[in-house]
Amino acid sequence: MLQKLIFPLLLPLILFAKESCIDCHQEQSAKCEKSVHYTLSNAINLTRKTWGITDSNVTLQSIPLPKTKIEKPADLVDDFLRRKCLKCHPFNRSSGERGMKRGIGCLSCHTPHQPEGSCQRSSKITMKKCLSCHNKGFVGGDYQGLFPKDHHRSYRAPLSQDGHFPSQKYGIDHHTLISDIHYQKGLKCVDCHKAEEMRGDAKASCTGCHAAPSPTNHPDYHTKLTCTSCHASWNYTAYELSVFRDDTPDYAKWKDLTLQEDGYLTNFLNKALKAKKPPKPRMPDWIERKQAEGIWYSGYRYKRWEHFVLANYDDGRIGIIRPLFQYRISYRDRNGTMILDDVRTIDGKPIEAWIPHAPHTITKKAKSCESCHANPLIMQPYSGENEVLKLQVPQNMIGASPLSSEQIKRMGSVKYKRVRGKMLLRP
Amino acid sequence: MARWVSWLTLALFVVSLFSGLVVMFAYHPSTAYESIQRLTYLTPYGAFFRQLHYFSSEFLMGMLIIHITIELMKKSIAMRTAAWVYGVVGALSVVLLMFSGFILKADQSANAAAQVAFTLMGETPLLSTLKALIQDTVSFYHKFFIWHIVLLPLLLGYGIYRHIKFLSPKLPYTIIATALSILVLLLIPMPADIIPNEAVKHLQGPWFFWGAENLLQMELGSWMVTLIMTIPFVLLALIILSARKTLLKFALVLWTLLYTAVSLAWWL
Amino acid sequence: MNRKWLLALLSLAALGVILLGITWRAAKPMPHITQPDQCMQCHSDMSDIDHAHPTEIFGCAKCHGGNAFATDKTNAHKGIVRNPSRLEHAVIFCSECHSDIIKRISNSLMQSESGILNVLAYQWGESRELNSTIGIDELKQEFNSSSLAQNHFAKACAACHINQDETVFDNPETTRGGGCSDCHRTSKTKGTQHATYTTRIPSSNCLKCHNRSNRIGLSYQGIFESEGYGTPYKEGNFSNQLADGRSYYALPADIHHAEGGMDCIDCHTEKGVMGDGKKHHHMEEAEDIKCQDCHTPKFAPANSLAVTLTDLNEKMSEPKTIGFTSKMNSPLYHLRPEHNGTTLYRKRDGKALSVTAMSNQPYHSDAIHQRLDCSACHASWAPSCYGCHEVYFENGKQFDWIQKKVTKGEWQEYRSFLRFESPSLGIGYNKKIMPFAPGCQVIGTLFKDKKVEKFHAMAMAGWDPHTTQKKSRTCVECHFNPATLGLGRGNLNIHEGNITFAPFFQSAQSGMPFDYPIDAFVSVEGKQFQSTSRKEARSFNKGELRRIVEAYRCILCHDSYSDPIYRDFNHSKVQFEKEETSCFKN
């Protein structure tokens, strides 16, 4: 649509130099345009598929305009993406949160330099640039050990020594958990995630720097496991994301929930709750760059850092998966009619996607064997099928499938007990 | 002068006596409070006779004070010593009748008043030995009842007889006394009983003993207060015996003024 | 003489008129006398409060005061009492029959809340001892305005006591107090329907108060007070909210509730609840019931109290042989031995429930687990609220529940995060191992004039969370789960013979004024980080931690209680030390 025409035109307009990056960096630009950072096709299509558009294959540039007549989640997903998720793209400078400002286009990651080739600044990409999108619950925040707190006003603690409430970064305040060992050693994002990956050629892998794991610590029965399965210490998992688009001006009930990890929403609610006359509910479409009707609210059921679920990746490895997300969708139109009221299934299947996930919380020492072998939660976290949270196997894995009963049985096999027993008995 | 005052006083005593006879039949000293309430609310015309008895007695007290004042204002006392002294005895028995009547209504203030009486008597020398004459271990109001319906009326009757040589009032005055009492009871309500579990900030006794209550609050000591209360009667009796009548009358007036002032000292 | 007779005649005439007036005024019919008191003149259609206090025998004035003889409203209602079940009125109106109970309840912890105040003052450093019995009634007389603990108690805790004034609450759904009515009343007076009272107290009455602090009433019903998201959104509104606006989600309820439908009173006896008359310091001293009282019952012939209670209950047959509590010998009149085992008759409706006797299986009888309280294994989850951030504004204003008016000083409460899974264990008030959770981890900020003062008092408390399940926690969940051991969440391992633990939470970097992880009761070396609410309560020590974790080395393969090595575990350990066991033969 319009994006295909405008964005390439925007690029030269934004740079203060007369030339644009493309003039010299044609090859890189061409490759970049196919990369996921440009198209965001993975996140967009994952969400659209989860919401019922099974053959979704669009990009940031080709995502349809939101539908006007809404009957099912599939009609609403584009609006949801444009207004909630896709504020993080290379052509949006900011969405109101501290720490989430970036340049436009190439500058969203790279730093400009004089055309003659002398670098005014290092062209190395700083962590700040990556973190302007890759923060909170998405991989990036966890690298520094940051875990976003719960939304409710009662979580705005502890106060500082001189009595200040904690400040928000990326739209919410954070707990600090143990950070990734690579972060502790001073490595930045780009030290592992190199240019080839950004352009869509290769993927970062541990073996890129680390020698093949020693057989003593990494016996043959564990060769299929991803490194993070054992070496990731904690893992951001957020259960049941309820999203609610409200086209009516009903703000009072959100007074204790103004922080929803969405800077625009926080500013809007703070103003709306004080206003004598409640403003119309409007929120920007971050692609079209203009206000659209309705406000998207969101809330989780609960968050954890100590859970993790293992599954068979489609590429044959075994690794961690996590929900991104388990949706419960509501939509109230401007007349107050609930068009969608807490919809959680499409044709009987829950609207959820469990996807492979590599937590960036690596520790040198791996987890104990028991963390997987004696942990029922690795297969079944508490989840709300009924209203009573019970342990159950995740549904709807994308890019993975559940561990088979054979595999689970093997985890408690005599062989395992012998091997582990030896480790425990004779130090 | 004003002979009619003394006649009215006598008539009021008779009205009080007869209305008291009626009320007496309804009164049960062992269940005093209940019997009074039953009389007031549930007995046909019970409230009427109770109020008649109350107002005629209050009138009697008032008239008595006026009668004494008038007699004292006269230059000379045209009465023998004994007759005068019996008059004082009559006055004292009226006060005691009023007090025992107050106690017999058996509400919270009556109970409190009785307790004060026990304490006063108990702490006063001489009188402490007589405490058993009003205090009963089995039925609280029993002895007060006997004093009020038998002993004190008899004493008053004898006192009046020895005071004026006859007992029966003149009919016109009796009619006037009855009529006035009934008129008042139709116009003014009787002070309400303070029922057992009513929360009241301050319980008070009969109006003529407010001064005594306040004196007790001033922590003078029970026997001192008893002494102060007997002063008017002693003075009255002395007036006929002593030559210094003017001085005694002056002392009596002074006592009355002081007692009134203490009675009205609301801050105590 | 003539004048007098004229006056007399006039008076007679006047008297005649007056008498006419009287007769006219008094010409109402004979006073209609009602039984049992004159209140019935207007209130004869008032319904009974229960079958033990019929209106036709008691009347109104016997309980409500007022003038039982008066026939007009003003006089009849003088000194009348709206709620005679308030303790100060009950002492006057009910003592004729219930003097024993009124004395007991007036001294009970549910009226004084002295345990709460004492532990608070102790944890906040204002008191050295845990033996104070100063409670709400004392604070009403004498309030120490310089005590922060008393200030906090008055504003945040004192709303809940038996004799609280019901009129100070503005939300009818969260109203509590009222003396005996607090527990015994099942409906409020409406028109001619008098408030009803019962001894079959519904659990909802208990939950009016027992839904805060350690959330016992909520947990029993499977309600977990949650993070406050208000999700899932239903009809465009928050759902799953309690009457006071707190959010919750449902977790598996206590089996006594889920399967038995039992109410609080089916376990908690009248002596345990109303007190035995003594002023106790802590809840466990006042409490009567124990798990064993039903699950390994001791039966005896019913006593007169049992007969009275059964009669009042109206839902079950006459008691012949019944259970008794081991601590205070209270009759469990609804617990009867039948030929096929023990039956518990639910007090609410008399339904027969068959009681599972505590088995003699090794997991109950083996010496290795004698120190465990029932709840250590059978409590499936416990609400754990980490980090209670109290913020005090000295110049703010807040409602004081003791003085019942707004006074100076305002408290706001914030929290760090919640958990319910894998409750920590520790040694509790009965010297046995039981679940522990934050109680309370206070991190305080005091805004006083221009200054900001900080203090913190971190404590963990042990109790039975009332989330009992039939199936106990698994061996590994205690023996090799760092959260259960009290270490906090992190990576626990045995490496080269050493027990290692790497915690996740970084307290200092998260802004806490201490450096141990906020969810750590104890360090892996056995250093107890946080205090407790009893002198005898504590975390596992170094030796205990080592023994528990090392036992896992056996549990890995010997994962059944009936495994012979557990019969005499000390002997098995000795053989193991000598490497004579088959473990070493491969």
Chains near B (3 or more Cβ pairs under 8 Å): C
Quick check: C414 and A157 CB within 8 A? Answer: yes
Section B62-87 average pLDDT: 90
d(CA B5, CA B24): 28
C34: closest chain B residue by CA: B42
Identify the CATH number of the domain defined by range B3-192+205-263.
Answer: 1.20.810.10
Residue C159 pLDDT exceeds 70: yes
3-class secondary-structure state, position C237: strand
Taking the CA of residue B37 and the nearest CA in chain C, the distance in Å comes to: 6
Q: What is the pLDDT of residue A395?
A: 78
What's the pLDDT tens digit per position in A257-276? 999 999 999 999 999 999 99
Please report the pLDDT score of residue B222 as a whole number.
86
Q: Are strands C384-400 and C433-448 parallel, antiparallel or unpaired?
A: parallel
C197 bridge partner residues: C185
C451–A contact, CB cutoff 8 A:
no
Residue C24 has pLDDT above 70, yes or no: no
- Percent of chain A at pLDDT above 70? 88
The answer for C 277-336 residues in CB contact with A (under 8 A) is: none
The overall average pLDDT reported for chain C is 92
Q: Are A42 and A53 in contact (CB under 8 A)?
A: no
Chain C residues close to B45, C-beta within 8 Å: 26
A364 interfaces chain C, CB cutoff of 8 Å: no
C460 min Cα distance to partner chain A (Å): 19
Do residues C507 and C515 touch, judged by C-beta distance below 8 A? yes
Q: What is the pLDDT of residue C1?
A: 59
The pLDDT, as a whole number, for residue C138 is: 92
Look at residues C492, C479, C487 and name the one whose alpha carbon lies nearest to residue C460.
Answer: C487
Whether residue B196 is preceded by a cis peptide bond, meaning omega within 30 degrees of 0, is no
Strand ranges for C496-556 from DSSP E: 498-503, 531-532
Q: Does C227 touch chain A (CB under 8 A)?
A: yes
CB contact under 8 A, C228 and A152: yes
Q: Is the pLDDT of residue B268 over 80?
A: no
Question: What ipTM score was computed for the predicted complex, to two decimals?
Answer: 0.90
| Chains in contact with A, where contact requires at least 3 CB pairs less than 8 Å apart | C
Tens digits of residue pLDDT in C68-86 = 999 889 999 998 999 999 9
Contact criterion met (CB < 8 Å) for C26 and B48: yes
Looking at the complex, report in whole angstroms how far the Cα of residue B170 sits from the nearest Cα belonging to chain C: 10
B47-61, B81-95, C26-40, C349-363: which range is least confident on average? C26-40
Place of tokens 């649509």: A1
Shortest CA gap B51–chain C (Å): 13
Mutate which: B31, B39, B41, B190, vs C, most C CBs within 10 A: B41
Q: DSSP 3-state assignment of A8?
A: helix
Q: Which residues of C touch B8 (CB under 8 A)?
A: none
Q: How many CB pairs under 8 A join A and C?
A: 188
Residue A394, pLDDT score: 80
Query: C196: which strand partners?
Result: C187
Nearest alpha carbon to residue B140 among B112, B166, B159, B168? B112
Tokens read off for B58: 């209050």
Chain A residues lying within 8 Å of C454, measured CB to CB: 161
Residue B37 touches partner C, C-beta closer than 8 Å: yes
Distances (CA, A) of C526 to C434, C505, C553: 18, 18, 20
The two three-digit tokens of residue B47, written as one number: 């409230």
Chains C and B touch (3+ CB pairs under 8 A): yes
Task: Using CA coordinates, name the residue in chain A closest to C415.
Answer: A155
Chain C residues with CB under 8 Å of A367 CB are 491, 493
Q: B-chain residues within 8 Å CB-CB of C81?
A: 197
How confident is the model over C103-124, as a mean pLDDT? 94
Domain boundaries, chain C: 32-80, 364-577
Of C298, C274, C324, C313, nearest to C52 by C-alpha is C313
Which of C3, C4, C89 is most worth mutating to test chain B (most B CB atoms within 10 A of its CB)?
A: C4
Q: What percent of chain A has pLDDT over 90?
A: 52
Question: B182 and C19: CB-CB below 8 Å?
Answer: yes
Each residue's pLDDT tens digit, C391-447: 999 999 999 999 999 999 999 999 999 999 899 999 999 999 999 999 999 999 999
Taking only the tens place, the pLDDT of each residue in C290-336 is: 999 999 999 999 999 999 999 999 999 999 999 999 999 999 999 99
Among A302, A341, A364, A386, most C C-beta atoms within 10 A, so best to mutate, is A302
pTM: 0.89
Most trustworthy range by pLDDT among B162-176, B238-252, C443-457:
C443-457
Please tell me the distance from the alpha carbon of residue B59 to that of residue C19, in angstroms, as a whole number: 20
Q: Which residues of C are less than 8 Å from B41 in CB distance? A: 31, 38, 67, 69-71, 75
Candidates C454, C489, C583; nearest CB to A306: C489
**Do the two chains B and A touch, given a threshold of 8 Å on CB pairs and at least 3 pairs?**
no
pLDDT in tens, A29-74: 888 888 888 899 999 999 999 999 999 999 999 999 999 899 999 9
Out of A161, A342, A365, name the one closest to residue C232 (CB).
A342
Cis status, amide bond into A278, omega within 30 of 0: no
> Which residues of C sit within 8 Å Cβ distance of B?
4-5, 7-8, 11-12, 14-15, 18-19, 21-22, 25-26, 30-31, 33, 38, 65-71, 75, 78-79, 81, 92-93
Interface touch A367/C493, C-beta < 8 Å: yes
Alpha helices in C314-358 (DSSP H): none
Q: Band the pLDDT of B95: cuts 50, 70, 90.
A: very high
Q: Which of residues 288-327 of A touch C (CB under 8 A)?
A: 297, 299-303, 305-306
Tens-place pLDDT, residues A288-322: 999 999 999 999 999 999 988 899 999 999 999 99
Mutate to test the interface with A, among C390, C414, C455, C474 (most CBs of A within 10 A): C414
State residue A307's pLDDT score.
85
Q: Taking CB atoms and an 8 Å cutoff, what residues of chain B touch C67?
A: 37, 41, 193, 195
Residues of C with Cβ-Cβ distance to B40 under 8 angstroms: 69-70
Asked if pLDDT for residue C580 goes beyond 90, the answer is no
State the pLDDT at residue A345: 92
- The upper half-sphere exposure of residue A102, i.e. CA atoms within 13 Å in the direction of its Cβ, equals 26
**pLDDT averaged per 10 residues in sequence order, chain A, 427 residues:** 59 51 80 86 93 92 92 95 92 87 84 59 76 90 95 94 90 95 93 79 80 76 89 92 95 95 94 94 94 95 90 93 93 95 92 93 91 74 54 82 88 88 80
pLDDT of residue A111: 75
The residues near C144 (Cβ < 8 Å, ≥ 6 apart) are C150
pLDDT at C487 (0 to 100)? 97
